[in-house]
Amino acid sequence: MLIKKPDSIKSSQITPESIYRNRRQFMKAGLGLAAVSSLGLPSIAQALEYDIPADLPQYPGPEWMRAQLAAAVRNDAFSTSEEPAPYYNAITHNNFYEFGTDKRDPVRKAQNFKTDPWTVEIAGEVAKPGKYNLEDILKPHALEDRVYRLRCVEAWSMVIPWLGFPLADLIKRFEPTSKAKFVRFETLVDKEQMPEQDSIFSTIDWPYVEGLRMDEAMNPLTLMAVGVYGNALPPQNGAPLRLVVPWKYGFKSIKSIVKIEFVEEMPASSWNIIAPGEYGFFANVNPEVDHPRWSQATERRLPSSLLSPNIVDTQPYNGYGEEVAHMYKGMDLKKWY
Ligand SMILES: Nc1nc2c(c(=O)[nH]1)N[C@H]1C(S)=C(S)[C@@H](COP(=O)(O)O)O[C@H]1N2
Ligand SMILES: [Mo]
């Protein structure tokens, strides 16, 4: 994000609009969920709702995860009715600095990233700390399909259909103590697999770390995601487990989580460490507080091209104010950016 070169995706590289079919359109066509599940079983049923062009990489996820992914149900109350970005954009335009700083680096360099088996450590102020297999972390949770806006601090945005479950439900299972005021997250460190972690030019002191205040972590909008577009997460999107905090700038939504720690003090977060004057801990989307080097009043909604840049107004809390503004009552948002 500190790099000033323009977005690396040329408009000529963006495919002509690929058509996304949402559940409602399938309903209209008489192909409701009942019809889909009566086809038999279940592993790709959910994927049928999305237009995933056959020539693009598919991410079915590990065998053990597939029935759970397929059983996911759309949560309309928590979904925007805006058109999701074409699958192509969501899996080829990524920020995942472990694989490089160019938007195309993650899709190019993460395809062999090993995400199964995967272990998540639960640590700190919590009654049930330990190292858990991802399978055991996920098992009790029914997955939901939620369509959220994702607003990057660099002033581009996308609408993405996630599969996941509320972080609050996970937190409750591990029983944080009364001292747990914040939740801290860590991404994997693996120089063999993540080339940028081995680069002497890297600006980030690995691992990538992030955090939320406890009430933010418990907010029903805060999602632990394991999938997009009805399938498992592609490695470039943070497989096998990532955070999605839709009212905050994208950098809060940490990918490929290996550790969740409950702490008493506000934890350090990667971009805040690098440039505290530019990226705050809270990082709530706010059109009234500009980044020191660019305006945050508008955003480029992908897909976008030179001829149709698709600039839209940025909304306070990325449009989720009704659900989250109460948590920041009385806070000076210019100070706590
Ligand atoms: N571990 C890790 N997580 C990360 C990042 C990163 O570089 N490393 N980039 C963040 C930023 S800046 C954004 S905008 C989102 C992008 O998510 P997407 O590529 O799935 O759209 O991931 C966030 N999570
Ligand atoms: Mo971002």
* 71-127 pLDDT, tens digit each: 999 999 999 999 999 999 999 999 999 999 999 999 999 999 999 999 999 999 999
Q: DSSP letters along 260-282, please?
A: EEEESSPPP-HHHHH-TTT--SS
Name the band, by pLDDT with cuts 50, 70 and 90, for residue 50. Answer: confident
Per-residue pLDDT reduced to its tens digit, 159-206: 999 999 999 999 999 999 999 999 999 999 999 999 999 999 999 999
260-316: per-residue pLDDT in tens? 999 999 999 999 999 999 999 999 999 999 999 999 999 999 999 999 999 999 999
CA–CA separation, 245 and 239 (whole Å): 16
For the chain, give every domain's residue range.
Answer: 24-326
Looking at residue 279, what is its pLDDT?
A: 98
Other C-beta atoms closer than 10 Å to the C-beta of 177 total 11
27 phi/psi in degrees, rounded to 5 = -60, -45
pLDDT of residue 44: 40
Cα separations in angstroms, 332 against 143, 267, 283, 316: 36, 20, 13, 14
User: Quick check: CB of 98 below 6 Å from ligand 1?
Assistant: yes
Per the model's pLDDT, the better-predicted residue between 51 and 259 turns out to be 259
CATH superfamily of 24-326: Oxidoreductase, molybdopterin-binding domain (3.90.420.10)
Residue 49 pLDDT: 74
243 neighbors 252 (Cβ within 8 angstroms): yes
Tokens of 252: 């809060």
HEC assignment per residue over 237-261: HCCCCEEECCCECHHHCCCCEEEEE
Q: Which of 52, 69, 232, 87 is nearest to 144 (CA)?
A: 69
Q: How many angstroms is it from 226 CA to the middle of ligand 1?
A: 14
State the pLDDT at residue 1: 60
Residue 63 half-sphere exposure, CB side, CA atoms within 13 Å? Answer: 0
pLDDT mean across residues, the chain: 89
State the pLDDT at residue 42: 36
Residue of the CA atom closest to atom 14 of ligand 1:
250
Contact in structure between 209 and 185 (CB atoms under 8 Å): yes
Ranges of beta strands (E only) in 2-155 are 73-74, 119-124, 130-133, 144-151
Q: Please tell me the pTM assigned to this model.
A: 0.88
Say if ligand 1 is within 6 A of residue 229 CB.
Answer: no
Distance 97 CA to ligand 1 centre (A): 8
Ligand nearest to the CA of 291: 2
Q: Which of helix, strand or coil describes residue 217?
A: helix
